[in-house]
Amino acid sequence: MTNHIALFEPLMPANTGNIARTCAATGTTLHLIRPLGFQTDDKHLKRAGLDYWDNVNIEYHDDLDAFLATIPDQRYLYLITKFSNLVYSDQDFTDTTHDHYFLFGKETTGLPEDFMRDNPEKCLRIPMTDKVRALNLSNTAALVIYEALRQQQFAGLELSHRYEHDKLK
């Protein structure tokens, strides 16, 4: 079982870089759905200090339909949006016989409204006040993936880490 974070037409390289780091740290596959608002060639990544990029399993998709075609069971697709009454932490992510896919929208406009209206049962929300339009994309992705991993008992992750000095004993 693998968890997946999918970014629909991401615009900001810093957000994608932060999410890629979270994916590297959690063993989560990152899906980037084109068009992207930045380049991911080696020169740009090195300049941005993304030295962990080669530790991220990244899949590129030409559009939303191409991404959706790769999901074997659409019941495990979750659309992260503020337009939902379902709270992300109330969802059960414990089924480890299937991959879980968390789809996040473009920083400026989110996911396509028609797509969300056609799939309200897949839409999940992070509670927040009405004082801001939205949470930062990379913070949102981290919240959601770590909730799924918590429910999955952090399977495959290092639960404790020792100081280098202690490892020598």
Q: Which segments are annotated as binding site?
A: 80, 105, 126
Backbone phi and psi for residue 117, each to the nearest 5 degrees, phi listed first: -65, -30
Summarize the annotated binding site for S-adenosyl-L-methionine as residue ranges. 80, 105, 126
Do 107 and 10 touch, CB atoms closer than 8 A? yes
User: CA triplet 156, 103, 93: central angle to 5 degrees?
Assistant: 45
Partnered with residue 123 across adjacent β-strands are: 79
Q: Give the up-direction half-sphere exposure of residue 138: CA atoms within 13 A in the CB hemisphere.
A: 13
Q: How far apart are CA 8 and CA 63, in angstroms?
A: 8
